[in-house]
Structure 1
């Protein structure tokens, strides 16, 4: 079922992009005035845009909130049980389909939050989600399907490789990222934290 969710997400992305094109047209939309509302912050002699700090804080808060929701609530227990053994959870009376729909909805809300905080920096452009989706696939391949810890480690690896890649080998930065994903697939097909 997790593989179907990935494919369904990609299909939903294509449908929503076409709906956006029909409603707002193919032109970029911006909300740059919001990012200008936050003053720049000086830390150790370096100046950082205030909105970037806001994005980091929102991202950290969302990650901590998601972790607490998954590991400290009844729904989180049901979600993890369903993810680990769908048949057993169903046999114990868990409505597996409802859990998967709710998990997908939470994922959509998190993606919407991510898009909302990034839009003032880069604007909303048709196709902007494709790059993020490809990077998300790489994160999942590295971290392992169905693992929150794997997603965190995979995202940290992807972020570090992209940052170092842009600094030192910009021409092949994405190729290095895909090479790391291929090596992980070769050595551990389920990902670093995935179940075999």
Structure 2
């Protein structure tokens, strides 16, 4: 398990260096926060699986005495930890940027924003990770991932605040209400629930596949 976690961390080293510079530059250029979020999310996912597909790493791991659940779990753990570190880093940069960049249009990040963003990332991660375990083609998996992100984002943009789709607002308000009652506990429980269900699905898919 330790080797698998180290492998994942090593694979993400280039993307981490990129994010160190990308986030401050994004604030200097006054990029929309959604653009920063989607860029980081897509690059993290693509980087997490590109070399696995290219080098057929999962086929190698399945030939070794490695528990399949550990292979999937290591990727989930590293991606989730990296998302937390990214959001904490962005929170720090955001606070500094609002002190020195008066032209910023976005509101400063607060605790509720942080927790809700982490929950949103976790839900999106839960949806797209099984996609990469399902498809044997990296390009196909990326295309499907982009399609899912577009559908989710476009769906919320169309239905949120639309009287013809009252359930979207009810769903969002319910989550906000739950988080507002006990921000850390509720958001943590929802995050863990989404990732656990996704992890079980990805593990089941991975066990059935011979290799990429």
Tell whether the structures are fold-level matches, with TM greater than 0.5: no
The two structures have a TM-score, normalised by structure 2, of 0.40
Higher relative contact order (CA 8 A, sep 6+): 2
The two structures have a TM-score, normalised by structure 1, of 0.42
Higher relative helix content: 2
